[in-house]
């Protein structure tokens, strides 16, 4: 009979140092080690490569030892699957240290089955609470205007320059070389700003019906709602036409925020959007959302753009990459 050690940690930022410490005496005695690094507990044990390798090499009567129960299972479904597999193969399962170290968790008696199922319920509850607390923390951070995730590759000024240069005809790869980033970063910035949609607005999209037949030309006056965040940014713009259009606009209250109903030529709306480009990729989430909303409204009335196809592409990252 052989001892086989199983270790797992959830992300590549975590380590197995604590598990190695708990299993130290077994490691020194020559026990074989199997690992599943950076593997979520939501991936069932029987689907993990390291654990599957352990099962393939284990013989009847071998013992699997883990530092704590959460390394192997964190749901009742996982417990049922693991126990069935281990019992069919004649294997034992022990927690290496602590109050539960004397229990064979693979034993088939009713008392052990009840105990292990209760243990899995507690671990599943702990996992769900961590997930819920994480979601609440993210929501609170976004509500306070904090930018989450990795730092942006381009700052607000660079983002504005990228969008302006693209609008003037610069190629994505040329912009990527100029700013020292990957082409996909440039595309992500342009897509967030709706710049790629607007830049190609003059021609029908290949494979789609020309949706611009009944839509206004750039010189035609249209009525669009500009989000308040953008209106605030443009209050002191040097563009006299944009400033005057805002002054003539009607303020509409929307819950805690507001928008300005602007009646102006389509080209002026596009110019106003361009001046807010800094919000597209480097600003707070609220600013990016406001920018995108205004870009969507402009695109919806821009000749030659199928707004339904554009909306689907905006919701589908794979479609947007195409």
Residue 232: predicted pLDDT? 84
**Which two three-digit tokens encode residue 290?**
């406001």
Residue 128: predicted pLDDT? 76
Residue 256: predicted pLDDT? 61
The whole-angstrom separation of Cα 48 and Cα 71 is: 12
Listed residue (233, 239, 218, 223) closest to 290, CA to CA: 233
pLDDT < 70 positions in the chain: 12, 99, 142, 145-152, 194-219, 254-256, 281-283, 304-322
The whole-angstrom separation of Cα 126 and Cα 132 is: 10
Who's near 57: CB < 8 A, 6+ residues apart? Answer: 4, 32
The whole-angstrom separation of Cα 30 and Cα 218 is: 77
The whole-angstrom separation of Cα 310 and Cα 37 is: 40
Residue 178: predicted pLDDT? 87
Residue 79: predicted pLDDT? 82
Domain ranges in the chain?
3-130, 156-321
The whole-angstrom separation of Cα 95 and Cα 98 is: 8
- What secondary structure does DSSP assign to 127-195, as a single string? HHHHHHHHHHHHHHHHHTTPPPSSPPSS-HHHHHHHHHHHHTT--HHHHHHHHTS-HHHHHHHHHHHTH
The domain made up of 3-130 is a member of CATH 3.40.50.1390? yes
Burial class (CB in 10 A: 0-12, 13-18, 19+), 51: buried
Residue 321: predicted pLDDT? 41
């Amino acid at each position: 009979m052989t001892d086989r050690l199983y270790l797992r940690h959830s992300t590549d930022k975590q380590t197995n140092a604590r598990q190695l410490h708990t299993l130290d005496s077994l490691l020194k005695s020559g026990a074989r080690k199997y690992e599943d690094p950076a593997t979520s507990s939501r991936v069932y044990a029987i689907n993990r490569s390291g654990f599957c390798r352990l099962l393939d090499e284990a013989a009847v009567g071998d013992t699997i030892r883990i530092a704590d129960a959460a390394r192997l299972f964190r749901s009742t479904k996982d417990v049922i699957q693991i126990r069935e597999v281990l019992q069919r193969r004649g294997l034992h399962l022990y927690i290496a240290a602590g109050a539960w170290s004397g229990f064979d968790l693979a034993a088939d008696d009713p008392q052990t089955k009840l105990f292990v199922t209760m243990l899995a319920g507690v671990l599943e509850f702990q996992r769900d609470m961590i997930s819920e607390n994480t979601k609440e923390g993210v929501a609170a951070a976004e509500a306070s205007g904090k930018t989450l995730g990795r730092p942006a590759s381009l700052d607000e000024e660079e983002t504005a320059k990228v969008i302006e240069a693209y609008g003037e005809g610069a190629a994505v790869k040329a912009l990527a070389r100029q700013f020292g980033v990957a082409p996909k970063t440039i595309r992500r910035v342009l897509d967030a700003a709706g710049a790629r949609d607007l830049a190609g607005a003059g021609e029908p999209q290949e494979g789609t019906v020309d949706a611009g037949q009944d839509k206004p030309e750039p010189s035609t006056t249209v009525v669009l709602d500009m989000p308040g965040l953008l209106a605030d940014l443009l209050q002191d713009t040097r563009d006299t036409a944009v400033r005057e259009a805002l002054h003539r606009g009607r303020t509409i209250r929307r819950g805690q925020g507001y928008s300005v109903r602007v009646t102006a030529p389509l080209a002026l709306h596009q110019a106003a959007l361009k001046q807010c480009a800094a919000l597209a990729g480097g600003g707070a989430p609220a600013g990016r959302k406001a920018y995108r909303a205004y870009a969507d409204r402009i695109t919806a009335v821009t000749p030659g753009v199928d707004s339904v196809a554009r909306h689907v592409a905006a919701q589908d990252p794979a479609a947007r990459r195409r």
